[in-house]
Amino acid sequence: QQMLMPREAMMYGTPPPALMNVPPAMGGAQVMFRNGPKSAAVMESPGHPQRSALLEEFRGNKTRKYELKDICDHMVEFSCDQHGSRFIQQKLEQATQDEKELVFEEVARNARQLMTDVFGNYVIQKFFEHGSQVQKHVLSKQMEGHILTLSLQMYGCRVVQKALEHVITEQQASMVRELDGHVLQCVKDQNGNHVIQKAIERVPAEHIKFVIDSFHGQVYTLATHPYGCRVIQRMFEHCDEAQTRPLLEELHRYTTNLVQDQYGNYVIQHVMERGKPADRSLVCSRVRGHVLQLSKHKFASNVVEKCIAYGEIKDRRALIDEITAVRRDGSSNLINMMKDQYANYVVQKMLDVVEEPQREAILVKIQPHMAALRKFTYGKHLISKVEKYMAMRDGVAEPPMSAGSSRGPQTPVSASSKTSA
């Protein structure tokens, strides 16, 4: 941690016991309070020696209406307290410029330590949201030389993300330059990946070329990584064709493996939902001939659903024909898939997207197997959908919802880290 210079050390006293020798990563901020005699209201609370009497009173008094001026000289201590931090955050949202400066004067001297504090980081974020350009610039200067360290820290990464959202382009560029040479380290880090995602989303392309360049030759490794798969998706969303095309070509070489990977399948789903027609057709071509096998796979079945829902018309028809075709012995993939815990969701999606004549033909094939289907616990959703479509056909019910299957959320959790309390 950055130590105070001798001149500054003379201006500020010793931190209260609550904040002494507590590593910032453990939720403590190394802070300095003003010297001078303490009034009775500012003396340490005998009931809780880790808090000043003022903070103890604030936490216990539910009737008094506090203002920012009431906690002068204690802004840092309040920022490091759960209730005090929330109070400052709420006040800053509606504060006058003078009130903001009152708070900023104290927290700026300890800003970098507060950035890595469990509660203090939220106060710093508020200044990036609601502070003046001068205040944002001061905070950004304090972050210089420490962007990588902050990006890899649980609370610091949130401050870096918020800064990238609110500082000017020149400051954005300066911040992300510090990550050059460390991109893959950040992508594979539980905290750093969120900073790389935010940089891809918010920083102009000419300033993050080195980020995209670092992905070349690494697409498969990143797409099959729990954090890397998120970053790859953000890249395909926000970068232009010139940047993404070489990486898409690299991705297509591994489609068959990726659709069966617990993380890679999300990247291929993303291509099906947002990709160009040629890319979607290429994915469908890798699925064709293997629909039954992939539909019965826990992860690949998600991709088959997306192919049915988002594929080009000719590709969808080819996949549906593969599912419904009847062999010489009278068997078909459809009957096999209906009874499978994963493939039945593909059948449900197929019923939602096919044209009416095809749907009717599929319903006719399913009906004789309804009794057997009821014996499977995971068959109830398909039975319900079939019955609704049959009732709709007979004019006695509304069509079922077709926004998605009933298997629940199918995307990785938390595309980006929370940046507010």
Rounded Cα distance, 168 and 166, in Å: 7
Q: How many CB atoms lie within 10 A of CB 44?
A: 18
On whether the pTM is more than 0.85, the answer is: no
Q: Do the beta carbons of residue 335 and residue 292 sit within 8 Å?
A: no
Q: How many CB atoms lie within 10 A of CB 182?
A: 17
Using CB atoms within 10 Å of the CB of residue 391, give its burial: 0 to 12 exposed, 13 to 18 middle, 19+ buried: middle
The C-alpha angle 299, 302, 306, rounded to 5 degrees, equals: 150
**Tens-of-pLDDT digits for all 421 residues of the chain?**
343 333 333 333 333 333 333 344 434 444 433 333 333 344 444 445 589 999 999 999 989 999 999 999 999 999 999 999 999 999 999 999 999 999 999 999 999 999 999 999 999 999 999 999 999 999 999 999 999 999 999 999 999 999 999 999 999 999 999 999 999 999 999 999 999 999 999 999 999 999 999 999 999 999 999 999 999 999 999 999 999 999 999 999 999 999 999 999 999 999 999 999 999 999 999 999 999 999 999 999 999 999 999 999 999 999 999 999 988 887 889 988 988 999 999 999 999 998 888 888 888 888 888 888 888 777 778 888 888 888 887 776 555 554 445 565 555 544 444 444 4
Residue with tokens 């078909």, as numbered in its chain: 332
- Residue 206 backbone phi and psi in degrees, to 5: -65, -20
Report the length, in residues, of the chain.
Answer: 421
- Residue 192 backbone phi and psi in degrees, to 5: -60, -30
The 8 Å CB, 24+ separation contacts for 322-325 are 322/288, 322/289, 322/291, 323/291, 323/292, 323/295, 323/347, 323/350, 324/358, 324/361, 324/362, 324/365
Both tokens of 356, joined, read 């009416």
- Report pLDDT for 48: 53
Q: Do the beta carbons of residue 187 and residue 200 sit within 8 Å?
A: no
CB-based burial, 65-90: b 16+ in 10 Å, e otherwise? eeebeebeebbbbbbbbeebbebbbe
- Report pLDDT for 244: 96
- Report pLDDT for 320: 93
Q: Do the beta carbons of residue 121 and residue 76 sit within 8 Å?
A: no
Both tokens of 265, joined, read 């399948």
- Report pLDDT for 115: 98
